Amino acid sequence: MKYSSIFANKIKCQNADQVFDYLVNNLKESILKWDYFINWEKVNCNFRDIEISLNLLNYLIGKDNIEKEAKLLFKEHPKLVYIVPALVAFRDKSFKLLTEYKYGEFQYQDFIFEKTHIITDEMIDKAIFFLKEIGFLNQIESQTIKSIPDYFLGVEVGLDTNARKNRSRKAMEEIIEHFINSICNTHNFEYISQTTASKIKKQFNKIITVNKSSKKIDFAINTPNKLFLIETNFYGGSGSKLKSTAGEYSNIFLQWKKDGHQFIWITDGIGWLTAKKPLRDAFENIDYILNINMVQVGILEALIIDKTINNNI
């Protein structure tokens, strides 16, 4: 790490060791916000797309001879075929299903629920067969499922929880962008978020080296003397990814420094308390690693201004 008097002025740290202690002693336990739990806009959008079809399926609840009734319903409303994967929270519209493997040969059945101009009786029969074999028809015949729309909403809510990791990442980005936006507005700097090397070249005429052309960079701030590249993340729990992340950003720092740019890593979360050594190793290699609190008290702004005006960090 490059020690700067900025750390003494802002957080009263007199050397790099004290800065590292401040970094790990001020990690936040959580940055969860209300929108972390469920993205209702997405859930309701998926529901509205097939609401009529879901209500049509309610006809089958509690019916005897459920397969016969299902075939009659699907033949009268053949577009019901298209929503079959959604009933089991499956996004793919075509797939192969392993149906036998115990007798020396793997056997598969193809299931296709893509929209077509004509829905054949064979497609309907396969859709009914699929719903039977996965147990869905039994659930509505026995009235374990009492409302298909309500059931579907529950499925979508459950499926949406898989996106929580991404929402946690977005929460960190939103917090840091609040401060970056304020810094850039105050000092008349330009920045772009969730950008790529090609976009940076186009907007700022600066070249950066990346391993993959599709790599997203959280923030790029262009000042008169330097391009600042900022990556952010938050780790609320432990995991092997912490060590690999620390190593990855050490390599990124070296490459972007070679390109002539300034890299700043902003990370937080008490997960780092279980991985202090790899964090310390990265701290020794990278010029600046900050947490949210350090950004909040003005260290990020002071570092950017000092580099822009004095070119001495």
pLDDT of residue 311: 63
Nearest to 229 by CA among 258, 192, 284, 199: 192
CA 260, CA 4: separation in Å to the nearest integer? 20
Q: Is 189 left (phi over 0), alpha (psi -120 to 50) or beta?
A: beta
The domain 5-30+189-310 is classified under which CATH number: 3.40.1130, 3.40.1350, 3.30.450, 1.10.101? 3.40.1350
246 Cβ contact partners less than 8 Å away, ≥ 6 residues apart: 275, 278, 279, 281, 282
Domain boundaries in the chain? 5-30+189-310, 40-162
| Contact (CB, 8 A) for 141 and 63 | yes
Please give the pLDDT value at position 240: 75
| Strand residue runs (E) in the chain | 94-100, 107-112, 190-195, 217-222, 227-234, 262-268, 288-290
Phi, psi of 94 (to 5 degrees): -145, 140
The count of other CB atoms within 10 Å of the CB of residue 265 is: 23
10-residue stretch averages of pLDDT, the chain, 313 residues long: 93 97 96 86 93 97 96 96 94 90 86 93 95 96 96 91 77 95 97 96 94 88 95 87 91 94 96 95 96 97 87 54
Residue 237's pLDDT is 84
Are residues 93 and 74 in contact, defined by beta-carbon separation less than 8 angstroms? no
